[in-house]
Chain A
């Protein structure tokens, strides 16, 4: 489709401003009237309010909501992750940093010595969980309150992600 470029400063066509528009008082009062109408209606029908009393009340999200990540554990509490780097390869934000190391058990062979996620970079797309061949990373915690008082606290390591359920905040 072709678009025509309108030069800057061209007057917008329409009704010229009337005296009522120019003094502005009438429009202010009209707007105030709408506000007061809503105030009265909301006071009479409190139950229909869409506002939640956060943090006393919290919104319930669906089971497929992608919240903060966690690393799943083997039976002995070690991470299921084998440091295959699928998640860090597929991650569009490049927020997963893994350093692999040799596992003493030959049947496991490889494990992540370092597994870090930068929660500020993460876009919560869930591709990591989809790419994982070992069901080692999940975004099923439902946690969306990701707050900290320092930037470096947003880079969470293996220990944090493994014991996610016990730890509340960063």
Chain B
């Protein structure tokens, strides 16, 4: 441990701590900085985090200094303030100050620092500024504005150290120095949008989000990416009932501060067409929109206990939903005829970093709930013509033509969100909520329970999955069902063998790792 004094406050930190982090601890806010990033190497190029260390002849950058016992540091002295202001003025010499058209405005390091440390009148005329290339696409997702760049080199270090692809570099010298892509390359790795996140200014912006919304209008909800089994922690930025972008949220146990581009663009599927909003019932060979009061008797009649031949869930549903669905399926067709998913569904190519080959967020929960996978052929054999079959979400008809034919011939009841190939073959279609519209838990590939939160509202006539399932169970005579999500979670927690004191409504920030399953899978329905 090293004992030092920062701004008159004595503090003890472990040896090897960066002075930057020690200062953050004392100040409660970070020192001004552009180039420092806790997950990247130290570059020390922006010179903004200079502090005064007693005994040192000059100001020292805190990011590249390790604490020493007995250090006396000043971060708010007049000398430090003046230095920050002068450095900032240097950074802004050739900056175009085009904030009105810059997507970064509102979450920009330059804007923030200028309001704190700058507030001087510029001594550089606009006509004297060095002009550089603006609005240049450098890859499928990223657009580069060289004028706005402060050459902090975060993006360059990201591509060298995190993705190890090395597409970016700093070219030229002096005030002509600029970020650029290596000759004949593109910034086309699957993590390229992280450079947009770490860019402290508006030099790198997202082509997808470009000009869509001003950031100060967005509201943010912490949630979990539904794109693959990794379960990266994200923020859903939404406004006006629409999701505009997803951003990674730091969780060092899962994704660090990063996420992949595939997951980041996952929100687009929320607003794709063919959304189900009203219950559909097949009448005279056609699916017709009906009111819920008409749909309920149809559902009760077709889901009569013990008549079903197949119930098929899928790993995109939350833990709570799967738990209730398992109970429903047990009533409907018995556990032998219940399947958690189709074998090989959602398989795609993964990488060694965050993107998993399993593109479903909750497959681990299926195993834990004892919902086994079925081969499509096996599922097709179970779906007997004329017999009731229940499918919950997904589009299994797309997976296999034989299964599609069998589902078409069976009396298919579909719970889901889209009028896809499966839904269009159904007798009854029930509209439910999509992942950004509901709360729930996902169990990722590490066996870590993480909480999904609702960001936007579902269509008024669609139901929240667990409420619908609970009501259906009650109507089918399965006895009283949990009345709140908290009670439902308590049931699930007990089934997972968690202590009763474990509140699943308030998971730890890093998620809750479940102990590996030993012996028989957790017991299912009542």
Residues of A within 8 A of B (CB): 82-86, 89, 100-102, 106-107, 109-110, 133-134
Contact = CB atoms under 8 A, between A and B. Distances in A.
28 contacts: A82-B100, A82-B101, A83-B101, A83-B211, A84-B99, A84-B100, A84-B101, A84-B105, A84-B214, A85-B217, A86-B100, A89-B214, A89-B216, A101-B211, A102-B210, A102-B211, A106-B134, A107-B134, A109-B98, A109-B101, A109-B134, A109-B135, A110-B100, A110-B101, A110-B211, A133-B99, A133-B100, A134-B100
Interface string B30-74: 000000000000000000000000000000000000000000000
Contacts of B101: 82-84, 109-110
Contacts, number: 34
Nearest to B105: A84
A86 B106 CA distance: 11
A134 B100 CA distance: 9
A80 to B, nearest CB: 11
Contacts of A102: 210-211
Looking at chain B's contact residues, is the secondary structure mostly helix, strand, loop, or mixed?
A: loop
Interface in B204-220: 210-212, 214, 216-217
Contacts of A134: 100
Of B101, B133, B135, B212, which is in contact with the most chain A CB atoms at under 10 Å from its CB? B101
A159 B135 CA distance: 27
A101 B210 CA distance: 9
Contacts of B212: 100
B178 to A, nearest CB: 15
Given A85-B217, A110-B100, A134-B100, 15 more contacts: A83-B211, A84-B99, A84-B101, A84-B105, A84-B214, A85-B214, A100-B212, A101-B211, A102-B210, A102-B211, A106-B135, A109-B101, A109-B134, A109-B135, A133-B100
Nearest to A102: B211
B472 to A, nearest CB: 41
Closest 3 CB pairs of A and B: A84-B100, A100-B211, A110-B101
Nearest to A86: B100
Contacts of A82: 100-101
Interface in B123-137: 133-135
Contacts of A109: 98, 101, 134-135
Contacts of B133: 106
